[in-house]
Chain A
Amino acid sequence: MTTATAAGQGRPRQQGARRPWLRAPSIIPGFGLTFGVSMTWLCLIVLIPLSTVFVKTAGMGWGRFVEVALSERALAAYRLSFGASLCAAFINACFGLLIAWILVRYDFPGKRVVNALVDLPFALPTAVAGIAFTALYTANGWIGQFLDPLGVKVAFTPLGVVITMVFIGLPFVVRSVEPVLADVGLDVEEAAASLGATRGQTFRRVILPAILPALLTGFAMAFARAVGEYGSVIFIAGNMPYETEIAPLLIVTQLEQYDYEGATAIATVMLVAAFALLLFINLLQAWSRKRTVD
């Protein structure tokens, strides 16, 4: 950075030389090309297609939008999508923290394998996860056959939805907490212990506050991912309207019935929720970074 400024100042500036209005001067070429390519591609692939949802919704009129987006069936779908995601994100926060703790603090044989395995939900195609969990949890499935006599039904119930959402959200919490937990100095913990804190007190008063922003970030990311998730959930969900139908599935159902208005209205609700979550996550990350720098 410093050399960039020095180089910029060191060059004799010609009288009346045109200053680029968009960017600070630099001797590195290629701004026009790379910025142009990025912006064009971004507009064509992301921004223009995304705008179709909002334009179509705007053309619908407010009354019609409310009627479609907040219909009984849609409301039931949001309740399931957001409710199950919240449960799953909460479970992820607890177990994700535990697993991050194990990976950061303990040494054990096979740690490298466990570490790699944590990212499985990122790498395993969602449809594969979907049929795998269904095969595990149906009444005569590998795990389901033991739960069924106890009266616990997982497949084709909201519980099944929560379980697959736990799967897809887990790495977000682990990967978000891990680096921050590794940064919490043992010296702080020693200080706490030498002042008479028990291990539990040290965790609650010293470690937890330090990792809280990262934990919340992971929680929010897992939640955001689960809300929009489709592939892994639809196989195990049962997909009964009003009961086990998630919001993304409702969009697909309406598309298949050529009800573009209905699909778009629900997509708008999902997009607005996603953008709100994205903003929230960005704020959390800024907070987390500030904490780490301090």
Chain B
Amino acid sequence: MQGGATTESRLARAIIMTVGLGFLALFLVMPLVVVFGEALKEGLAAYRDAIVEPDALAAIRLTLLVAAIAVPLNIVFGIAAAWAITKFDFPGKSLLITFIDLPFSVSPVVSGLIYVLLFGAQGWLGPWLEQHDIQIIFAVPGMVLATVFVTFPFVARELIPLMSEQGRDDEEAALSLGASGWQAFWHATLPNVRWGLLYGVLLCNARAMGEFGAVSVVSGHIRGETNTMPLHVEILYNEYNFVAAFAVASLLALLALVTLVLKSFLEWRYDYHGKGSGH
């Protein structure tokens, strides 16, 4: 197609490509390059030292722990919510969907603040918690709660459109053949939505490991104890320990890149899967 009615001239096309890709290079590629560049500025040894340092290792462990608790909780919730919403008709359904999406529109800082207001020393449950010697704010439970909040919609919002598109026929067929509800879910529903589920889990995990604002508000920044990787990056950066800050940040950037690769793979697989099953 050259100079056709529905394409731009070669010159216009070249300009559009240059401006668009230049913009992406400036805003997306440069930040990535700078993270790795600054992290490796003083050589591999300095990079390695920054990562195997005890506080950094503690931060990595805590990040993994928080994600390992928050992600499964949201998987269970996401599946339950998607099942209730797509397999049954009841009034108020769209309101429920809006509520599930709510955490996405709340500022991360406010997401942390609400738990401080609930569990903090001056919060609703503060005095009771203090009496029973339970610490939630400035401790790991608060960080898990804040992470669960900010990642709340990921799995559910991926499954709901997918499962409502699949309809109820497969489950009804399975049930009429004598399957139990669990069997219908495992053998009829899950195989149909597994890629979508994985996709939601992937995004949920990336956010859980990378969350900064909400976790920062409830963490109390106790080095080696309540520092996740993003918080550790902030502390190092504010101490002008730039190489170490970028070294830890580069691990998070790698996580982001792996997430993007897996995501692209799932999108490709997903489409293929969708077409293959004749939808």
Query: Residues of A at under 8 Å CB distance from B?
Result: 1, 3-4, 7, 22-24, 26-31, 33-35, 37-38, 41-42, 45-50, 52-53, 56, 95, 98-99, 101-102, 105-106, 108, 112, 114-129, 131-133, 135-136, 142-143, 163, 166-167, 170, 186, 189-190, 193-194, 199, 224, 227-231, 235, 248-249, 251-252, 255, 258, 260, 263-264, 267, 270-271, 274-275, 277-278, 282
Closest to B90 in A: A23
Instruction: Check if B249 sits within 8 Å of A166, measured CB to CB.
Output: no
Closest to B81 in A: A38
A229 CB contacts on chain B under 8 angstroms: 107-108
Instruction: Check if A37 sits within 8 Å of B76, measured CB to CB.
Output: yes
CA distance in complex: A56, B37 (Å): 46
CA distance in complex: A37, B81 (Å): 8
The smallest beta-carbon distance between A99 and chain B, in angstroms, is: 5
Instruction: Check if A48 sits within 8 Å of B118, measured CB to CB.
Output: yes
Instruction: Check if A128 sits within 8 Å of B35, measured CB to CB.
Output: yes
CA distance in complex: A43, B184 (Å): 28
Would A1 and B17 be within 8 Å (CB), given that A95-B23, A116-B261, A267-B110 are in contact?
Answer: no
Instruction: Check if A120 sits within 8 Å of B256, measured CB to CB.
Output: yes
A33 CB contacts on chain B under 8 angstroms: 80
The smallest beta-carbon distance between B69 and chain A, in angstroms, is: 13
- What are 28 of the A-B contact pairs (CB < 8 Å)? A4-B168, A22-B91, A23-B88, A23-B90, A26-B87, A27-B175, A29-B175, A31-B84, A31-B87, A35-B90, A37-B81, A38-B85, A46-B100, A49-B118, A101-B16, A125-B209, A126-B210, A128-B249, A132-B30, A132-B249, A166-B27, A228-B109, A230-B108, A235-B234, A248-B110, A251-B113, A274-B107, A278-B105
Would A53 and B110 be within 8 Å (CB), given that A24-B89, A34-B81, A231-B213 are in contact?
Answer: yes
A227 CB contacts on chain B under 8 angstroms: 107
Instruction: Check if A53 sits within 8 Å of B113, measured CB to CB.
Output: yes
Cβ of B83 < 8 Å from any Cβ of A? yes
Q: Which of B43-51, B144-152, B190-198, B270-278 contacts A (4 or more CB under 8 A)?
A: B144-152
Cβ of B141 < 8 Å from any Cβ of A? no
CA distance in complex: A58, B32 (Å): 45
A170 CB contacts on chain B under 8 angstroms: 27-28
Instruction: Check if B84 sits within 8 Å of A42, measured CB to CB.
Output: no
A235 CB contacts on chain B under 8 angstroms: 234, 237
Would A189 and B148 be within 8 Å (CB), given that A28-B88, A127-B230 are in contact?
Answer: no
A135 CB contacts on chain B under 8 angstroms: 34, 38, 242, 246
User: CB within 8 Å of A: which of B85-142?
Assistant: 85, 87-91, 96, 98-103, 105-110, 113-118, 120, 122-124
CA distance in complex: A278, B152 (Å): 16
Instruction: Check if B29 sits within 8 Å of A117, measured CB to CB.
Output: yes
CA distance in complex: A230, B230 (Å): 13
Instruction: Check if A98 sits within 8 Å of B23, measured CB to CB.
Output: yes
The smallest beta-carbon distance between A77 and chain B, in angstroms, is: 12
* Cβ-closest 7 pairs across A and B: A125-B210, A228-B107, A193-B5, A231-B212, A132-B31, A230-B213, A29-B181
Instruction: Check if B28 sits within 8 Å of A117, measured CB to CB.
Output: yes
Instruction: Check if B108 sits within 8 Å of A228, measured CB to CB.
Output: yes
Cβ of B55 < 8 Å from any Cβ of A? no
Which has the most chain B C-beta neighbours within 10 Å: A26, A27, A49, A270?
A49
A133 CB contacts on chain B under 8 angstroms: 31
Instruction: Check if B252 sits within 8 Å of A282, measured CB to CB.
Output: no
Instruction: Check if A128 sits within 8 Å of B88, measured CB to CB.
Output: no
Would A136 and B210 be within 8 Å (CB), given that A52-B118, A102-B21, A108-B17 are in contact?
Answer: no
Would A22 and B76 be within 8 Å (CB), given that A114-B24, A199-B8 are in contact?
Answer: no
CA distance in complex: A192, B204 (Å): 44
CA distance in complex: A150, B145 (Å): 47
The smallest beta-carbon distance between A244 and chain B, in angstroms, is: 16
Query: Per a CB cutoff under 8 Å, which of B6, B123, B217 touches A252?
Result: B217
Instruction: Check if A189 sits within 8 Å of B108, measured CB to CB.
Output: no
Instruction: Check if B230 sits within 8 Å of A231, measured CB to CB.
Output: yes
Would A128 and B253 be within 8 Å (CB), given that A167-B31, A231-B212 are in contact?
Answer: yes
Closest to B115 in A: A49
The smallest beta-carbon distance between A49 and chain B, in angstroms, is: 4
Instruction: Check if B264 sits within 8 Å of A34, measured CB to CB.
Output: no
Would A116 and B24 be within 8 Å (CB), given that A27-B175, A30-B83 are in contact?
Answer: no
Query: Per a CB cutoff under 8 Å, which of B21, B149, B212, B229 touches A230?
Result: B212
Closest to B189 in A: A28
The smallest beta-carbon distance between A194 and chain B, in angstroms, is: 7
